[in-house]
């Protein structure tokens, strides 16, 4: 939140008719649970509306929400293919330049 009243909070657009995700509904219900016995229904409704808008439109909680959402399962291994020399050539050793396969020569400086 900014301390300057002239500078508004940056917000992301949210369609008014978009249905609320069940995950957000659970989070909001948990947040409002302590107040259900003490607050009026009108106040609870206003608090719920504010939380819905804030959690979806403000950049920080919207980013957290994107991380919490379920993701599609990974279909393949995450191994990355590497470009090594042809199988007929010897693989590079620790002293070789792994990208070009060229052997290094000479001594290290400073010895």
- Whether this prediction's pTM lies above 0.85 is answered by no
**How many Å from the N-terminal Cα to the C-terminal Cα in the chain?**
56
Mean pLDDT across the stretch 55-67? 81
Does residue 61 sit within a domain?
Answer: yes
pLDDT given at position 92: 59
Does residue 20 sit within a domain?
Answer: no
pLDDT given at position 65: 78
pLDDT tens-place string over residues 1-40: 455 555 555 555 555 666 778 888 898 999 999 999 999 9
Does residue 17 sit within a domain?
Answer: no
Structure tokens that stand for 111 in this block: 């010895």
Its sign, for the CA torsion 84, 85, 89, 93, is negative
User: Domain count of the chain?
Assistant: 1
Q: Which domain holds residue 40?
A: 36-69
Burial class of 6 by CB neighbour count within 10 A (0 to 12, 13 to 18, 19+): exposed
Whether 61 and 89 have beta carbons less than 8 Å apart is answered as no
Does residue 108 sit within a domain?
Answer: no
pLDDT given at position 68: 76
The residues facing 103 across adjacent strands are 96
pLDDT tens-place string over residues 67-95: 777 677 766 766 666 665 566 666 656 66
């Amino acid at each position: 939140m900014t301390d300057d009243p002239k500078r508004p909070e940056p917000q992301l657009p949210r369609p008014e008719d978009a249905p609320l995700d069940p995950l957000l509904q659970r989070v909001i219900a948990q947040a409002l649970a302590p107040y259900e016995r003490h607050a009026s229904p009108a106040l609870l409704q206003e608090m719920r509306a504010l939380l819905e808008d804030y959690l979806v439109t403000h950049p920080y909680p919207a980013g957290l929400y994107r991380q919490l959402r379920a993701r599609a399962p990974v279909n393949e291994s995450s191994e990355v293919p590497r470009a090594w020399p042809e199988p007929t050539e010897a693989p590079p050793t620790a002293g070789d330049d792994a990208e070009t396969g060229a052997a290094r020569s000479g001594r290290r400086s400073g010895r």
